[in-house]
Amino acid sequence: MKNLKAMLVGVVAALALTAPSWASPKTVTLNVSGMTCEACPITVKKALQKVPGVSKIDVLYEKKQVVVTFDDSKTNTDALVKATTNAGYPSQPEKTAK
């Protein structure tokens, strides 16, 4: 079964690389420096959940980062930044290393 698993991993990797244009979930990492206590991520998360098109939010409290997965046909990084900023937590998209 080892080979099958390796093959599946390869297929998934290939799919990820050739992401179809009709469904393009994007992931952005936002640096939220204002998250200073453990209640902050909850507020940030709630604000982001209200943005249409957002499908996944991972708060990395220790790194003061929020990883947001969203549908880029429905929303964009600017809207996400605006949402956290309006909630009292200004954020900056992390420059993605290519």
Q: Among candidates 51, 24, 25, which has minimal Cα distance to 91?
A: 51
How far apart are CB 90 and Cu ion at their closest, in Å? Answer: 14
**Whole-Å CA distances, 71 to 26, 41, 49, 96:** 6, 22, 13, 18
Q: Which is nearer to Cu ion, 4 or 37 (by Cβ)?
A: 37
How far apart are CB 45 and Cu ion at their closest, in Å? Answer: 12
**Whole-Å CA distances, 6 to 3, 9, 16:** 5, 5, 15
* 66 part of the interface to Cu ion, by CB under 5 A: no
- Give the amino acid at 51: V
Q: Which is nearer to Cu ion, 13 or 60 (by Cβ)?
A: 60
How far apart are CB 92 and Cu ion at their closest, in Å? Answer: 18
Coil, strand or helix at 38: coil
- Binding pattern for the stretch 23-62 against Cu ion, x by CB under 5 A and - elsewhere: --------------x-xx----------------------
* 97 part of the interface to Cu ion, by CB under 5 A: no
The token pair at 16 is: 């990820």
What residue ranges bind Cu ion (CB under 5 A)?
Answer: 37, 39-40
